[in-house]
Amino acid sequence: MLLRNLEPADFEAITSVVDEWWGGRPVRGLLPRLFFEHFSETSFVVVDEEDVSAFFIGFRSQTFPAVAYAHFIGVSPASRGKGYGRLLYQRFFETVSRLGCTEVRSITSPVNENSIAFHRHLGFQVLPGDGEVNGCTVRVDYAGPGQPRVLFSKLLGEKTENGSVS
Q: What is the pLDDT of residues 80-124, one digit of tens each?
A: 999 999 999 999 999 999 999 999 999 999 999 999 999 999 999
146 has a pLDDT exceeding 70: yes
Q: Are residues 159 and 95 in the same domain?
A: no
| pLDDT tens per residue across span 4-58 | 999 999 999 999 999 999 888 899 999 999 999 999 999 999 999 889 999 999 9
Same domain, 39 and 119: no
Q: Which of 86, 101, 116 is the last residue of a domain?
A: 101
Residues 72 and 10 in one domain: yes
Pair 84, 129 in one domain: no
Report the C-alpha gap between 67 and 52 in whole angstroms.
28
Type of residue at 126: V
Q: pLDDT tier at 163 (50, 70, 90 boundaries)?
A: low
HEC letters along the chain: CEEEECCHHHHHHHHCCHHHHCCCCCCHHHCCHHHHHHCHHHCEEEEECCEEEEEEEEEECCCCCCEEEEEEEEECHHHCCCCHHHHHHHHHHHHHHHCCCCEEEEEECCCCHHHHHHHHHCCCEECCCCEEECCEEEECCCCCCCCCEEEEEEECCCECCCCCEC
pLDDT at residue 144, as a whole number:
96
Q: Considering the entire predicted model, what is its pTM?
A: 0.92
Q: Are residues 87 and 122 part of one domain?
A: no
Judge whether residue 160 has pLDDT over 60. Answer: no
Please say which residue of 68, 83, 101 terminates a domain: 101
User: Which residue range forms the structural domain that includes residue 18?
Assistant: 1-101
- How many angstroms separate the CA atoms of 166 and 163, rounded? 10
